[in-house]
Structure 1
Amino acid sequence: MDSYSIALAIPGCGADIRSVQGGRRAVPKAGEAMIDRAFAVLRAFDAGHRVLSLAGLVQRTGLPHSTALRLARKLTEAGALERLDDGHYVIGLRLLEIASLTPRGHGLRAVAMPYLEDLFHVTHQHILLAVRDGDTATLVERLSAHNAGPALFRVGGRMTLPGTGVGMVLLAHAPADVQEHILERFKPGQSYDVSTAESLRRALAEVRRGGYAMGSKSGPQPHTTAAPVRDADGVVAAVSVVAPSADFDAVIYVPAVRATARAISRALNDTRQIGS
């Protein structure tokens, strides 16, 4: 029998189109389909799309109109979305409440904040705290002075590993398979100060030896100094100072950034010991 398509009704998820090859139906589990689609709706929101209409959700998720509407209503009832008076949707506070429980997010931030504030008052520049998530870095906290230049990163936003100071620190201490994945796909212009995969490999080795990363780009692009935050299991985060000045001397911030990273590391380990 030739391949053909049929519409299968997935309980709780609306109608979906699935391919049938040779008369055999590859039907996903209903629960998995519901979770995947719910997350597809949530992922439709980003820094450039903070408010979405139902039509916008349909366009950005590719879901059928009826499915997007049903999921939007369910997520609104659960507090994961909020519906505005004009019918548009925004992310709900319930997600913030849940996200505050993540130890690598707000938990790390709570421990690190006093030391980040000290570094901020000394430098009056952008102060970043980030963790690695796969082959990218996620910004956990950012402190910024009014005169520190444009803020290029937002809390919760993702950054490339080789393209930022905190990312270079996290990549230098990432598992070997993660490093090789990045190195195999590396292209010029993706990293501070290096243009080839081999020079990136050497730079990562230098970060491990020296205990910090420095980087700069030409023109008005920011310059950075970053250092690793450790717990008993290894490097769990990175902290950095980012400054916009083209004549910024990253070396002068190395002692302060490293001292901040060490202080956060000690506080993390003390917190673990108290909670054990």
Structure 2
Amino acid sequence: MILFLGVLMAATDGGVAAVDRALTILDAFTEADQSLTLTEISKRVGFYKSTTLRLAESLERFGYLRRLEDGAFRLGPKPLFLGALYQKHFKTSEFVPQTLRQIVDELHEGASFFVRDDDKRVCIHRVDSARAIRDSIQEGARLPLTVGASGHVLLAFSGGQGANYDRIREQLYAISMGERDPETAAIACPVFSVGQKLAGAISVSGPKYRFESADIPAMVAVLEKYSAQLSIAFGGIWPKKLA
């Protein structure tokens, strides 16, 4: 990888611009593309064909692209190798707690990250609010799937059937008011990993009376923002364009 970046830094386009352009070419490929012609790549990235060809040939030399017999390009094996390294060394403890702290700083309520474990949801990361009156959840707590916003999200994105789960899949969040506990409320969003598989759910929770008087759409927007960021860290894609 270092050698690859070194070659790009020495390219005639110069420095960081050449790196940016090469990575833009890789980003031009989507899940639906088995291969792309030089013309198709050029149109997608907005480069001259000569520039696209020069960068594509560099990417090919280092295994990031592979040229087919008909002259079209497809992704090579190197991105898969790097992806495997990323997954091998990825630790939720390096990413999730920091994200939860940012949620708490913005919303002033406790934030959690849940994963599904059979018929339960397990809190594997938690950051409490500094407020005196707050929702209390411990890391490692096993809670029901069928009540609570994060439980609804986990069920919705792991095959749950019914109008409620259809709505959650469409809007990408769930709200619960007094379900798990009559005095607490929560909002949750899904987090996606590689291949758009469900990685877990992040939620913000607190006393019900504060949620009842809060700007819920604004809270949802904050949670969506961090769900999208965390999905990218997990190798997934947030499926909705954020404002």
2:132 and 2:232 map into 1 onto residues whose CA distance is 29
Match of 2:141 in 1: 157
Corresponding residue number in structure 2 for 1:266: 232
Q: Does 1:230 align with 2:172?
A: no
Letter in 2 for 1:244: P
Sort the Cα spacing of 1:138 and 1:150 in 2 relative to 1 into closer, same or farther, 3 A.
same
Unaligned runs of 5+ in 1: 1-102, 181-200, 271-276
Percent of paired sites with the same residue: 21
CA distance in 2, matches of 1:259, 1:150: 23
Alpha carbons of structure 1 residues 144 and 163: separation in structure 2 relative to 1, 3 Å: same
- Aligned match of 2:82: none
2:170: which partner in 1? 209
Q: 1:205 to 1:132 in 2, by over 3 A?
A: same
CA deviation after TM superposition for structure 1 residue 235, in Å: 1.1
Measured on the aligned residues, the alpha-carbon RMSD in Å equals 2.3
User: Is the Cα contact below 8 Å between 2:128 and 2:136 reproduced in 1?
Assistant: no
Matched, 1:112 2:92: no
1:67-78 matches, cutoff 5 A? none
State the distance in 1 between where 2:193 and 2:109 align: 26
Question: Aligned letter for 2:219?
Answer: Y
Matches within 5 A, 1:116-135: 116-135=100-119
What residue identity is the alignment partner of 2:222? A
Determine whether 1:169 maps to 2:163: no
The aligned counterpart of 2:32 is: none
Please identify runs of 4+ aligned residues in structure 1 that moved more than 6 A: none
Distance (Å, rounded) in 2 between the aligned partners of 1:260 and 1:109? 16
1:253 paired to 2:219: yes
In the alignment, is the contact (CA less than 8 A) between 1:111 and 1:268 conserved in 2?
no
- TM-score of the superposed pair, with normalisation by structure 1: 0.48
Once the two structures are TM-superposed, the CA of residue 118 in structure 1 deviates from its matched residue by: 1.1
Q: 1:239 corresponds to which letter in structure 2?
A: I
Mapping 1:138-149, distance limit 5 Å: 138-147=122-131, 149=133
TM-score of the aligned structures, taking structure 2 as reference length: 0.54
Distance in 1, matches of 2:213 and 2:145, equals 22
How big is the shift at 1:236? 1.1
Q: Judge conservation of contact 2:149–2:188 (CA < 8 Å) in 1.
A: yes
Matched length = 143
